[in-house]
Structure 1
Amino acid sequence: MLANTFGRTMLRLYSRSADSLCGAVSNVGRKRFIWTVACKRRTLSVRLNSDERRQQHAFLPQGSTRAVHQTTVDPDELKYFQSLAIKWWDENGEFRALHAMNDLRVPFIRDNLLNVHKAHHPGKPLAGVRVLDVGCGGGLLTEPLGRIGAKVLGIDPVEESIGTAQRHLSCDPDLSERVSYRACTLEELSADMAEREAGQGDVLFDAIIASEVVEHLADLETFALCCDHVLKPGGSLFITTINKTNLSYALAIVVAEQLLRIVPRGTHDWEKFISPIELERRLESNGFSVKSVQGLMYNPASGAWTWINSDAINYALHAVKLAEEPQSDPQMGKPDHSAASHT
């Protein structure tokens, strides 16, 4: 009964205006929370940061091959997750919402990959599929993907989290044949693959997963560029993250962190949230085509996630890396237009 009531309440919040939402937050004891001022400050900050980024990228040659000079790691985020590294597998602890999210994100990944990889293996539908789990933490999503047949590499810059993942994996010797971990960043893995195998297709991944990760990154452009480097043409990129709206600030930070304590206080920074439109723009500029965006919602009363029609708070995105442009014919000196190319 409580879960149904909470669910209906959350859905009603999606249809309210920012002003109405501000009043709702105030009514639960946050009278000193000045909604309008907070939103204006954040909007101004976002615009200033966007202007700075545009000025920095204005000096890059159009269409040039960019090297990875930045890092995706935010030192503050690193310290934060180091403090939580031993708690990943506590299903009733700080990461309980991520445990529950597997009920949606595992089928979302599996079903989209099965549309591409037609081979059927009873009990192991993703057998033969190479997956990279970026920001894997303690392996909460890595292990379930391995159990349905995928060969998964989980990477995370927090060595303590990788240690937790490896210890948990050791409890299932059969799974260790399909799941492995490495303490590194995505840009480090990208550089190592380029040097070791010179980008050969047989070492690239069929899919990349970044679930609840991009809202913690220091440089989203570097993330997208590295994904392009390590993913096969036609490969899939799966992202779950939080939209950048007034509603997401109210529910993901004020309600979830400060009032209900669903996640530890300080887990999220609203400035790092990104809208589906902005994320799609970033991905398309790095050779991806977004295929679907679906909204989802967590109900803390029932402890379950559900798909919803609105992406105003959380959303899942599936993108595909486009095939490379046709190469120029060295004899004719003209590009080969025999096949349609992607723009």
Structure 2
Amino acid sequence: MYSNKFGRLMLGLYSRRQAAVCGVAQRAAGLTGSSWTVVCKQRTLWLQRSVFLETERRATLPLTSARSASQTTVDPSELRRFQSLAGKWWDEQGEFAALHAMNDLRVPFIRDNLLNVHRARHPGKPLAGLSILDVGCGGGLLTEPLGRLGADVLGIDPVEDSVSTAHLHSSYDPDLRDRVSYRACTLEELSGDGEEGQAETQFDAVVASEVVEHLADLETFAYCCSQVLKPGGSLFITTINKTNLSYALGIVVAEQLLRIVPSGTHDWEKFISPVDLERLLESYGFSVQSVQGMMYNPLSGAWSWTDSTAINYALHAVKPGDPAEDGSTHPEDPAVATHT
């Protein structure tokens, strides 16, 4: 799904240090020192309160709940927003420009981590023989390059027009016709379409890039991911952190002041920190292998890895169990491949 975060654009213009960026955002907002301090303190208090309430709520639930497909990850307001953008996915200079550029990081991130577990058997097609589910595929911006690496990829999205756009675009590439397919459905529908609520098909990897910050229910998302993954399968997520900095740049500056992003594009309450996301995934049996910060430079139009997760980050987690046999190997070091 679409996640045109202004925080990504602004972060490349400023220092990686959060204090420096906050200073620039403060001047852009035209706030006095005391006013800006109030804004930051207010967001901190809200964050602490939301974490406290979430902790209390989760304490009343079992770690693994018997969730049904009747619980949905879909937010109707998000659905309407992406419906209006369904025909713009492949405009590389349009609203999805940063998402196109993100492939330079997220495709190698997925490929290299999978190759840590699954030995490459086909030169030029390192992911051949592996099955991948691309959740919230939109127009297929990430689905297609994964297919070109040899994987069998199913892209799913609740917006039918986006799925139509993705299918039409991939149909022009003969190399993708037998590897890439699309389906207009939700993750929970797919995870419960087999007998007794079990997923009919399981995958070697699930990818949810710029998706979780648009979902209505993250617990249902985590549960369904565990259902559709094979034992030892990998889950890849890229999303936006829940910090004062992401609120200042993504909400205050981008939407309320400069109007670069339409008001209402972002809901700060839906953002999630790496710590909270890791805690959620571990409650459903996942083991988080790595979390890596990402940064976008609007001057060069390129993404790069960074030590800071204050705005964007990528996460790799693994479902317990042995990877599929037939050519799979266990890495000596489970850590993620290092990117520079």
TM-score after normalising by structure 1: 0.82
Query: In structure 2, what is the Cα distance between the partners aligned to 1:251 and 1:304?
Result: 19
Query: Displacement of 1:258 after TM fit?
Result: 5.9
* Equivalence for 1:311: 309
Query: Displacement of 1:123 after TM fit?
Result: 1.4
Query: In structure 2, what is the Cα distance between the partners aligned to 1:16 and 1:126?
Result: 38
Deviations 1:199-254 (A, max 9, x none): 57xx3100000000011111111100000001011000000011111122233344
Greater radius of gyration (CA): 1
* 1:170/1:261 CA distance change after superposition, 3 Å: farther
* 1:260/1:113 CA distance change after superposition, 3 Å: farther
Deviations 1:246-288 (A, max 9, x none): 1222333445556777755533211111111110000000010
Consecutive unaligned residues in structure 1, runs of 5 or more: 1-5, 325-343
* Equivalence for 2:289: 291
* Equivalence for 2:334: none
Asked if 1:275 is matched to 2:297, the reply is: no
The letter of the residue matching 1:291 is: Q
**Number of aligned positions between the proteins:** 312
Deviations 1:72-107 (A, max 9, x none): 111111111111111110000000000000001000
* 1:64/1:141 CA distance change after superposition, 3 Å: closer
* Equivalence for 1:241: 239
Deviations 1:168-200 (A, max 9, x none): 11212331210011111100111113458x557
Query: In structure 2, what is the Cα distance between the partners aligned to 1:121 and 1:139?
Result: 24
Query: In structure 2, what is the Cα distance between the partners aligned to 1:71 and 1:64?
Result: 15
Query: In structure 2, what is the Cα distance between the partners aligned to 1:250 and 1:153?
Result: 36
Q: Equivalent residue of 1:118, what SS?
A: coil
* Equivalence for 1:25: 25
* Equivalence for 2:87: 86
* Equivalence for 1:327: none
CA contact (8 A) 1:135 1:210 kept: yes
Query: In structure 2, what is the Cα distance between the partners aligned to 1:7 and 1:216?
Result: 21
Query: In structure 1, what is the Cα distance between the partners aligned to 2:221 and 2:64?
Result: 18
The 5 Å alignment of 1:173-252 reads 173-195=174-196, 198-199=198-199, 203-252=201-250
The 5 Å alignment of 1:113-132 reads 113-132=114-133
* Equivalence for 2:170: 169
The letter of the residue matching 1:219 is: D
CA contact (8 A) 1:94 1:264 kept: no
Query: In structure 2, what is the Cα distance between the partners aligned to 1:40 and 1:8?
Result: 25
Query: Displacement of 1:46 after TM fit?
Result: 4.1
The letter of the residue matching 2:104 is: D
Query: In structure 2, what is the Cα distance between the partners aligned to 1:70 and 1:157?
Result: 14
Query: In structure 1, what is the Cα distance between the partners aligned to 2:119 and 2:283?
Result: 29
Query: Displacement of 1:23 after TM fit?
Result: 3.8
* Equivalence for 1:72: 73
Query: Displacement of 1:135 after TM fit?
Result: 0.5
Instruction: Please identify, of 223-232 and 115-124, the stretch whose mean Cα deviation from structure 2 is larger.
Output: 115-124
Instruction: Please identify, of 242-251 and 296-305, the stretch whose mean Cα deviation from structure 2 is larger.
Output: 242-251
Percentage identity across paired residues of the two chains: 69
Query: In structure 2, what is the Cα distance between the partners aligned to 1:206 and 1:214?
Result: 20
TM-score after normalising by structure 2: 0.83
Q: Equivalent residue of 2:191, what SS?
A: helix
* Equivalence for 1:15: 17
